[in-house]
Structure 1
Amino acid sequence: MPRHELHQWLSCPSGKMLLSREKALLDGVLPHLFGHYILQVGRLGDADLLVRSRIPHRILVEVDGNRSVPGRSCLRARPDALPIVSDSIDVVVLPHLLEFSSHIQETIQEAERVLIAEGHLLILAFNAWSLLGIHHLLCRQGNPDPDRQSESDERPCTPCRGGRFPGLNRIRNRIATLGFEVISVKRYFFQPPIGNRDLMNRLRFLDVIGPRFLPFFSGAYLIVAKKRVTTLTPIRLHRRQPRQSLIPVGLSET
């Protein structure tokens, strides 16, 4: 799962701005979600995405090999094979995990498995139909081999050159088939992914007008979904009474 370039990109101006925006979005959502256990599958740089959560027990699953951050403990596992008991987690956060997964359906199914009924799933993902998505496509065409990067390049030109941007509708359809109800979709990061910090700051107004006038062209989106479980109400079976004869007993039919 080649997410190392994503972590590098998050340290450049456009990556820092995206990460700041995503932390702000999660800070607004997580305080309203309650329970005993919250699970984050995959890091975003060294950021603590769950800092505003009120849930006491926080679990971080590392999916990027031997990468670690001092002072933070974690589990190491594949996102499609979590070492966690079924129906035990109240909130699952997948931060830019599906872009690098070759088994998207299995990864989402695993999140559904560990979630309790009425638990929440939060998905952060990049949008293909955006300036960031177009830039990503051009970078892939210009350098189809993500492992071959010029030594002069200080940062990857795209956050996931080794991955793909999953479409919002595709993700919504996949989670719907597993019984999730989409509660909200937040779109953000309408700026082009450029390396000039001053220019990025000047283009902040795009994040103000973008959600209103160009919502479908956001660079990324946050899906908040709830796991719905249909409870079958048992129907009491009544013993069928024998049908009465229309002819009185003792009389014969002629």
Structure 2
Amino acid sequence: MRTFSEWLHQSELGAYLLKRESAWYDRAVADVFGYRAVQVGLPALDFLRENRIPWQCRAADEGGGHIVCDPTQLPFDSASLDLLLLPHVLDFSSDPHGVLREAERVLVPEGRLMLTGFNPMSLWGVRRMIQGRADAPWSGNFLTLARVKDWFRLMELEPEGGAFMAYAPPFSRADWLRQFDFMEAAGDRWWPLAAGVYAIDAVKRRRGMRLITPRWRAASATKKLLAAGGNDRHPVSRNNDGQT
């Protein structure tokens, strides 16, 4: 049985998908700033290559990355990462909800989480039902977009962007896939929810936070009003002509 990473590199359908996902990550990470960025999963691929954050690393539960770890137990301090990528990590985890909890823990407030996942409500999901789940990528969880967004709401992760991709039927041959190139151009307009893969760009929010302004500003404004209107030591008086 091939792993998902091997399928991406060794199959024509995998190459078709990888081209589109790489293009999305390149665009999505380009303008994200901060101090630390981490990619979890697919360590042989660098989806952070277009990002300019100085400290970057790749982590996975298998060899090939800078760090070997369980995605549900990341070896990073709480609120320490500005950008976290999860390319299909939820699809191939036995505890996808736990992966998102851990992602929320390690992100700083206003930190960015970007992920991709297979859409079961697509032709890719139909092929998975027909041929079974014995091999990658069909062995993945194929979580619905609605379910992932429900988990986001529980963890105060707010989607701010995303994309749909891979509209062509999941044929194994590249020449058959090329015959359906027209579906890529029309998919976002006519049938976005039928895409084989969805991408989400989310921000970690902290509800109830507000900026507290210095008290001396209010005090200063009050003193100016008192000075203009008079006080007990310097009362305002008027003469018989009504002049101040």
**TM-score category (smaller protein):** 0.7 to 0.9
Q: Secondary structure at the match of 1:98?
A: coil
2:196 counterpart of 1:219: yes
2:58 counterpart of 1:60: yes
2:122 counterpart of 1:183: no
Task: Give the superposition deviation at 1:202.
Answer: 2.1
Equivalent-residue separation in structure 2 for 1:56 and 1:201 (angstroms): 38
**Counterpart for residue 247 of structure 1:** none
**Do 1:5 and 1:161's aligned partners in 2 also have CA atoms closer than 8 Å?**
no
**Counterpart for residue 21 of structure 2:** 22
Percent of residue pairs identical: 31
Task: Give the superposition deviation at 1:231.
Answer: 4.2
For structure 1, the 5+ residue unaligned runs are 147-155, 237-254
TM-superposition CA deviations, 1:48-76 (whole Å, max 9, x none): 2111011111111122x3x32xxxx5101
**Alpha-carbon distance change, 27 to 232 in structure 1, aligned in 2, over 3 angstroms:** closer
Q: Match for 2:46 among 45, 48, 53?
A: 48
Higher Rg of the two aligned structures:
2
2:70 counterpart of 1:78: yes
Equivalent-residue separation in structure 2 for 1:47 and 1:192 (angstroms): 24
**Counterpart for residue 206 of structure 1:** 183
Equivalent-residue separation in structure 2 for 1:199 and 1:105 (angstroms): 36
Stretch deviating more after TM superposition (16-25 or 46-55): 46-55
Equivalent-residue separation in structure 1 for 2:83 and 2:107 (angstroms): 7
Q: Give the counterpart letter for 2:171 in structure 1.
A: I
- Residues 102-251 of structure 1: matches in 2 within 5 Å? 102-140=94-132, 146=134, 156=135, 159-232=136-209
TM-superposition CA deviations, 1:65-103 (whole Å, max 9, x none): 3x32xxxx5101000001111101001100001112121
Task: Give the superposition deviation at 1:208.
Answer: 0.5
**Counterpart for residue 37 of structure 1:** 36
For structure 2, the 5+ residue unaligned runs are 216-244
Q: Secondary structure at the match of 2:73?
A: coil
Q: Give the counterpart letter for 1:187 in structure 2.
A: F
Normalising by structure 1, we get a TM-score of 0.78
CA RMSD of aligned residues (A): 1.9
Equivalent-residue separation in structure 2 for 1:137 and 1:42 (angstroms): 25
Normalising by structure 2, we get a TM-score of 0.81
Task: Give the superposition deviation at 1:226.
Answer: 0.3
Stretch deviating more after TM superposition (75-84 or 100-109): 100-109
Task: Report how many residues are paired.
Answer: 211
